[in-house]
Amino acid sequence: MSKYLIFSMVLAVVILSLFIYSSGYFPGRDSSETNSSQEIPYTFPEYIFPVYDGGIVNEVIEGEEESVTITFLNKESKEEISSYYQGLLTNSYQISEEDNSREYTSMGMKDDYIYSVAVTSSSTEYNSQIYNTVTTIGVMPLDDEFKQDMDQMTEKEKEIMLIWFKAMNEMDK
């Protein structure tokens, strides 16, 4: 059960980071180059969670346990970008998913990573340009022991874990 506690703590940190960013506490850095994008660390699984075409990465946070959170801006609509990520996440183990007029969020596990994705409608100015969406993706690789625990869980145990994580998510709002 300690793995579930660690997983929930990591998930809570990722969720907190998403909400802190969407509240405006990490403004985009000004740069002398127009449309400059920060470099994505090699530990970020871009082959699983690619940056949407034309995205400008304006924030990168590298955390413990090889976790990485990136934030990028796009000119496309929230609906277009969230639809793209919904398609990418169709065969993931989703713990929580919500889509409303202002924001799309999904949290869960995909290809040996714990993930959270948030796409928010925004009118954000960065390097003298206006962007319509802010997307934040946080990932952390699953360790072998946790993957083994997940493989041994019954469907009922997974369902209970899902209910518990949804409750944790609601408490953070």
What pLDDT score does 59 carry? Answer: 92
Residue 87 reports pLDDT greater than 80: yes
The ranges assigned to domains in the chain are 2-171
Strand partners, 59: 71
Q: What percent of the chain has pLDDT over 70?
A: 70
Name the residue with higher pLDDT: 11 or 145.
145
Cα separation, 131 vs 124, in Å, equals 5
Q: Are strands 68-74 and 113-126 parallel, antiparallel or unpaired?
A: unpaired
Q: What is the pTM of this model?
A: 0.71
Average pLDDT, the chain: 78
pLDDT digits (tens, 9 = 90+) for 109-167: 888 888 999 999 988 888 888 999 999 999 988 877 777 777 787 877 766 765 665 56
